[in-house]
Structure 1
Amino acid sequence: MRISYYALALGWAVVILIGTLLPAPVLPPAPKWDILTFDSLVHAILFGVQLLLLLYAFHRDPAVPQVTKRHITGSFLFVVFFGILVEVLQGSMSMGREADPVDALSNTIGGVIGLGLWFLLPRRSAAGFKKSS
């Protein structure tokens, strides 16, 4: 397993940590939406992309002969727990941020959406687990 295959996923995790752990006064005001909050959408996108990047890293890594159900399940659980960890960190830091269960749910929904997109990507076999040649 070479770290270079996972650089995008790791870099994106750093972007998520920086963006979600910045002090509240530093962040620009979010637009107000009626049905879906902008904040929830951003959380879903961040964590959906995180899951896709992690699965893509497994897909590209020559040390991983094929992406299995175990890789997919483990990646999804990692993203869910990472999302929960971010919320716990926000709650434990006194920087004007607070832990929000709705954000944790949005993070998880993003993971589910990322998972759905992973299975829709055309570059893999119909089974969804084999690498294409």
Structure 2
Amino acid sequence: MPHWELLAFDTAAHAGVFLLLAALYIFSARRQQRFPRLRRRAYLWVFVFCTGLGLLIEFLQTQMDLGRQGDWGDGISDTLGTVAGLGLMRLGQRYWS
């Protein structure tokens, strides 16, 4: 059995959470009036932040000895969820603008 299953519930949950996280960050970042640089580069910053957060969580879980285990497959799922959230927001931006 592979360590990372594409259609496992855990994988889908990771992707779904990061899809929602990325979409909400874009929704917020695109409305910032005080930070025009953030508005212009919102997609890049959200991608970097969400991907880094997902990988940091998995790395920290490998270092903990509290019954949690880091799984790099979950980091991939987090990244795929982030990309899906950014893609949906980009598509939606065409209809909202």
* 1:123 and 2:81 matched: no
Q: Secondary structure at the match of 2:78?
A: helix
* 1:56 and 2:27 matched: yes
| Cross-structure match for 1:67 | 39
Aligned counterpart for 1:114 among listed residues 82, 85, 95 = 85
Q: Distance in 2 between matches of 1:105 and 1:80?
A: 9
Report how many residues are paired.
90
Q: Distance in 2 between matches of 1:74 and 1:59?
A: 11
RMSD: 1.8
* 1:97 and 2:68 matched: yes
How big is each residue's C-alpha offset from its partner over 1:74-96, in whole Å with a ceiling of 9 and x where there is no partner?
11011000000010111111121
Kindly report which structure 2 residues correspond to 1:3-82, keeping only aligned pairs within 5 A, or say none.
Answer: 36-65=7-36, 67-68=39-40, 70-82=41-53
* C-alpha contact (below 8 Å) 2:61/2:69 kept by paired residues: yes
More helix per residue: 1 or 2?
Answer: 2
Q: Secondary structure at the match of 2:68?
A: coil
| TM-score of the superposed pair, with normalisation by structure 1 | 0.62
Identity between Structure 1 and Structure 2 (%): 34
1:60 CA displacement? 2.1
Q: Which runs of 4 or more aligned residues in structure 1 lie more than 4 Å from their structure 2 counterparts after TM superposition?
A: none
Larger RCO of the pair (alpha carbons < 8 Å, separation 6+):
2
